[in-house]
Amino acid sequence: MNCAINDVLECIEVEQTNSAEVRAQEVNKKHVAEHFSAACGNYDHYAQVQKQIAEVNLELLSHVIAGRSKFSVDLGCGTGLHTSLLAKMSDNCLAIDISHGMLKVAQINNTDMTTATNNAILYCSGDADSLPLQSQSIDVLHSSMALQWCSSPSFAIAEIARVLSTSGSAQLAIMLDSSLYELRDAWENIGITPRINNFFSQQQWLQATQDLQIEQINQNSNVKINIQQQVRSFTEWHSSSLDMLRALKLIGAATKYNSKQIGKNSQLQLSPVTVSTAISKQELIELDKQMQRRVCGLSEQYQQRNAGDKGEGNRGLPLTYQILFLTIQKKQS
């Protein structure tokens, strides 16, 4: 292992075995990791919106950092599709993911890729709630579509602030609770509790950053933390609600189906995004009807939002991701 990176890493097991609360979190995180590991072979083909979001996040990062960084981290690297771009901005690059399957694919995808100083990209299993990194050791941290799986915004933001150097920057893309609202509303309209897990809101994430700033002030720290934020919408289109749920499954995010009711489609499994309740064929039909009504009623709105989406803005059923782009910058005052 590169000696410089070795100095940055620390033993994550020591931090994660101190309380029953942490062990309880690990059970949930294990569930998340298993489903993304199961999806790692299909992820790059189906995760088109996720790719767009990561590209925007990297573009925002390029406006934040000046010159080459010494240490960078791709937190929630997934299949490593964008890790190599981050590595080219850095002397040393570490890719972290909670899913061992994703890490293996990332290593394969970046076999011949190196950092700006020809160091190998390194890979490490880790959880955003308890990063396996020394304090103030990272200059640049990039994370796209990973932090919505954290236990709380406060945990994640505090950990990121802890590992950033005194002049470090983090660029984060986080899925909000207002995401996938078309599917959520369709469930409600057919009188069924929405089978989608709740993510954190924009206000909860911003409160976590404000708490961090207040803590810095109370500690009379000479390091100032600047926060910038914006929310953008990204919409993908599906031929039916079944196609939508299947696509979510193929990127590690689907719903459990009743094999007797759906037959050949029973391969769709439980995932972190949705709640494990069986879906009947009739419910799928009703979902389609509800979502088609939304498209008819709001077709102009969707067309305007997706005017630049390569001609895909007006066909099928829409599923929208609301993404918070959050920039955290440390500066010495």
- Report, as an integer, the average pLDDT of 104-113: 91
Q: Among 3.10.450.40, 3.40.50.150, 3.40.50.300, 3.30.40.10, what is the CATH number of 3-177+199-234+322-332?
A: 3.40.50.150
In the predicted model, is pLDDT for residue 5 greater than 70?
A: no
The residue ranges of DSSP E strands in the chain, in sequence order, are 69-75, 90-97, 122-125, 138-144, 164-175, 223-238, 317-332
- Cβ neighbours for 308, distance < 8 A, ≥ 6 positions apart: none
- Report, as an integer, the average pLDDT of 166-189: 92
In the predicted model, is pLDDT for residue 17 greater than 60?
A: no
Q: Tokens standing for 172?
A: 């984060």
Query: Cα–Cα distance between 258 and 288 in angstroms, integer?
Result: 18
Q: Higher model confidence: residue 204 or residue 16? A: 204
Neighbours of 273 (CB within 10 A): 25
**From 28-37, 67-76, 90-99, the region with the lowest mean pLDDT:** 28-37
Q: Higher model confidence: residue 171 or residue 248? A: 171
- Cβ neighbours for 317, distance < 8 A, ≥ 6 positions apart: 182, 237, 238, 239, 240, 241, 243, 244, 288, 291, 292, 295
Q: Please give the pLDDT value at position 179.
A: 92
Q: What is the DSSP letter of 119?
A: P
Q: Please give the pLDDT value at position 277.
A: 54
Domain boundaries, the chain: 3-177+199-234+322-332, 237-320
User: What does the pLDDT look like over 200-240, one tens digit per residue?
Assistant: 999 999 999 999 999 988 888 888 999 999 999 999 998 88
Give residue for tokens 């954190």.
200
DSSP-assigned states of every residue in 1-61: --HHHHHHB--HHHHTTS-HHHHHHHHHHHHHHHHHHHHTTTHHHH-HHHHHHHHHHHHHH
Q: Tokens standing for 60?
A: 């925002």
In the predicted model, is pLDDT for residue 129 greater than 60?
A: yes
pTM: 0.80
Q: Higher model confidence: residue 248 or residue 255? A: 248
**From 3-12, 46-55, 176-185, 206-215, the region with the lowest mean pLDDT:** 3-12
Q: Higher model confidence: residue 69 or residue 36? A: 69
